[in-house]
Amino acid sequence: MRVPGFSWDRLGEALRGARLDLLLLSLFAIYVCYWIRGLRWVRLSRHIGPAGIWSVFEATLMGFVAIVLLGRAGEPVRPFLIGRRERLSISSMFGVFVVERLLDVSVTIFMTGWSLILLPRLLREHEAGNHSSPAWSRLALLQKAGFALFAGLLVAVVFLMYLHITHGGVFARQMERWRATSGWRCSVAGIFIGFLEGLQALQNWGDFAVAVVLTAAHWSLVLAIYVWVPRSFGGDFASFGLRAAVLTLACTMLGSALQLPVIGGGSWAGTFGALTLFLGVAREPAMAAAVTLWLITFASCSFAGIPLLLREGMSLGELRRIATQRDERTAGAPAAAPSKGIQP
């Protein structure tokens, strides 16, 4: 099939010319990122119960494989596995998961807002079209959106501080009433109360500081990968810098909300859009960089994660069952002892 303006020969040439050393460095770095995620989880759950870093690291890899295979529906697998392996409350692990996601979403909002504010300079540096292009014509609106994201982040932080200081305040009291009912209200109440338990993982400024430092270390390393991988292709990417990497990563993170099973979809499409629309990179090298970034930063967890899942005796069907399971997710009791696989 021929795509107008796209050359498969140029795509192959871009892939063949990539620097292997930068790609291997990026692959090593992403596994360090998974390790940092494990360290952050152990720290966040230390007030709930002890957790081993190696066990959490393995569960992290298996959890991200579940997202590769199932899309966003696979996200519950990781906290479920950690709770089962470490004999910790499943609901509390989902609370820790929500806190972790809030930290990562805060980074997404920060990077997106920063990118939109810096966009005029990036467009000038990369000569991405003329001043009548869509990127330039919507520039004022995009910059306002950047400031709005920062304002929204500030509001969210204040709200979370209120929940933390008041142990849920009026929301917790309402959830306690819902917990005595049945149906969806009971499920929502269980998830919210588990979230409050996870939020108490940040019991002092020291806990918060460690969580912020580990989050910053993780995303700084990911940002470095978003510089190394494009630069490995040379050509249009020879001068690919930090500001361009921030914009590309922000678009990737926004696109990942539409994550599809196996093929990724939204994440590499967001990368491709940032490179072509805003940075003026030709389609073929942009496609090569986008797919390679997705393979390294996301799908590469399969190298270690799939063997770990096989060792645990887990099938794709069992992963789907964990992803849709609700009873243990909202229960407050400690999880049962782990077994080889999850029995149907």
Mean pLDDT, rounded, of the chain: 76
Do 238 and 231 meet the contact criterion of CB atoms below 8 Å apart?
Answer: yes
Q: Is residue 249 included in any domain, yes or no?
A: yes
Compute how many other C-beta atoms are within 10 angstroms of the C-beta atom of residue 14.
Answer: 23
**pLDDT in the model for residue 259:** 57
Q: Is residue 209 included in any domain, yes or no?
A: yes
Phi, psi of 56 (to 5 degrees): -70, -40
Q: State the total domains in the chain.
A: 1
Q: Is residue 3 included in any domain, yes or no?
A: no
Q: Is residue 1 included in any domain, yes or no?
A: no
Q: Is residue 342 included in any domain, yes or no?
A: no
Q: Is residue 330 included in any domain, yes or no?
A: no
Domain coverage including residue 130: 8-324
- 111 has a pLDDT exceeding 60: yes
**Angle CA 192–84–72, to nearest 5:** 60
Do 280 and 127 meet the contact criterion of CB atoms below 8 Å apart?
Answer: yes
Q: Is residue 335 included in any domain, yes or no?
A: no
Q: Is residue 82 included in any domain, yes or no?
A: yes
Residue pLDDT, tens place only, 226-282? 999 999 988 878 888 888 888 888 888 777 765 555 555 567 788 888 888 878 888
Residue pLDDT, tens place only, 287-328? 888 889 988 998 899 999 999 988 887 777 777 777 676 444
- 99 has a pLDDT exceeding 70: yes
- 182 has a pLDDT exceeding 80: no
DSSP per-residue letters across 247-278? HHHHHHHHHGGGEETTTEEHHHHHHHHIIIII
The set of long-range contacts for 303-306, using a CB threshold of 8 Å and a minimum separation of 24, is 304/31, 304/61, 305/61, 305/62, 305/64, 305/65, 305/68, 306/65
**pLDDT in the model for residue 314:** 78
